[in-house]
Amino acid sequence: MIKKTLIIAGYTFRDIVTKGFFKIFTLVMTILILFGVLLPDLIFKLNVFNHKKEYLIYLVDDKNYIFDNHLDLNIYMKSLKDSGFIDGEYYFEFLGENTSKNKLNEDLKQGIVDGYVFVNNSKNIEIITSIDLPEIKFVLDRFIFNKWVDENLNIDKDKLENILVKYKIENMSLNNNKIINIFKKFALPIILMMMSYMIFVIYGQFLSLNSNIEKNSKIVEILLTKVRLSNIILGKIIGVTLVAFIQIVYFLSVLFLTLSLLNSLKFPFITSIIRFDYVFIFRYILYFVFGFVIYSLIFLFIGFIIDKTENLSIASIPVIFMISLSYFISILSLQLPQSYFLKNLVYFPLFTPFLSIVNLSNNLLNEIVLCFIMILTILILVVINIKVFRFMIKFKGKGENKLVKNG
């Protein structure tokens, strides 16, 4: 029995790996992985987003402690630029009264402005910028000093002390660590979920189509004279699962080998957000295999019960929808890790392959329960497939005999 099952599994495996779609899918995914890994650091290295040398800075001084317009400051800024004291092109825009910091911060976050200068009083100024712009303080220091000199011709030490201004300088680029932490949380799970999603859908549909064609062409009926129906079903599942397993291991190898190479080539961003974890990867592959077998059995079931091959695409929509729903719920679970409802969805076998990636557990008992649920689901689906397919063959045979008698 085992030998016959393995023969069918080997035939299914060879049949898939020789197909054009297998080669194309493997090549395209390899290119996407390499492109996706290289792109973030290339963007930083090429300075794509930091080429800007022109900056708009809001100037707020409701009480005119220091500034009463932006024209003088812009003219002075231009003179410093022409003299080579500063590199960037700065334009200050003087805002009216009652401009709130909330509105300024909102404009800053949306990229409408590159920074703002908020004058609290003659001795206290806040400088808030989206990126590090130390030249602003340099310009303001010199401008204020020159303005004071113009207004006070007789300079003594006491008066010089009075022109010193205390600055509160903030740089929103200091929040880069938060951005990196977000990428660390989302990057690898989303990559793995995308791999699972594509493999589940592609091989599931292939299995559904293949089983339907074999059923309608009576290949299965011929095989049944040599082997049991359970051997055929298990052989197909083992064969296609082996292909999926090898392919996901290959994709993971490409991903982490590339990251290892980039680490030595000074690609700091991507190598800092995606790290190899033996336990996490083993857990992912384990639930990937369980999930793949479950969805494969469902697609196989669809191939059995649908009479016309052209109707398979419509019949597969609910299963593809369930895979898509599992993917999006997993994304939601990443954003709401404390949700009790989302945490418990991991025990639903169709969601487990995706949610197990984001709902990490160090509880061995919990992992044993999840594995038991997945294995039990697989056994139930195998029995259902055998019974349904046997019934379909008998029903079809009776229908054909009836037609022969009537004829």
State pLDDT tens for residues 161-207. 555 565 555 555 544 555 566 677 788 888 899 999 999 999 999 88
Which of 159-168, 244-253, 333-342, 356-365 has the least mean pLDDT?
159-168
* Residue 88 φ then ψ, to 5°: -80, 160
Identify the CA nearest to 345 among candidates 306, 304, 308, 373.
Answer: 373
Q: Which residues pair with 148 in a beta bridge?
A: none
Per-residue pLDDT reduced to its tens digit, 218-227:
665 566 556 7
In the chain, how long is the greatest CA-to-CA distance? Answer: 123
Residue-wise burial string across 314-329, b where 16 or more C-beta atoms lie within 10 A, e elsewhere: ebbeebbeebeebbeb
Which of 51-60, 202-211, 244-253 has the least mean pLDDT?
51-60
Mean pLDDT (the chain) is 81
Residue 80 pLDDT class (50, 70, 90 cuts): confident
Percent share of the chain, pLDDT over 90: 25
**Both tokens of residue 385?**
């497939």
- Give the best-scoring range by mean pLDDT among 58-62, 153-157, 276-280, 361-365: 58-62
Between CA 199 and CA 17 the distance in angstroms is 14
pLDDT above 70 for 406: no
Per-residue pLDDT reduced to its tens digit, 280-316:
899 999 999 999 999 999 998 898 888 788 888 888 8
* Predicted pLDDT of residue 376: 96
SS3 of 337, please? coil
Q: Which residues pair with 116 in a beta bridge?
A: 58, 128
CA distance readout (Å), 333 to 111, 186, 200, 289: 29, 11, 20, 21
Residues carrying CATH 3.40.1710, the chain: 54-176
Rg from Cα positions in the chain: 33
SS3 of 60, please? strand
Q: Are 118 and 107 in contact (CB under 8 A)?
A: no
Q: Are 289 and 238 in contact (CB under 8 A)?
A: no
Q: What is the pLDDT averaged over residues 339-367?
A: 83
Contacts of 111 (CB under 8 A, 6+ apart): 130
pLDDT above 60 for 383: yes
CATH of domain 54-176: 3.40.1710
SS3 of 277, please? coil
| Total-model pTM | 0.67
Neighbours of 401 (CB within 10 A): 10
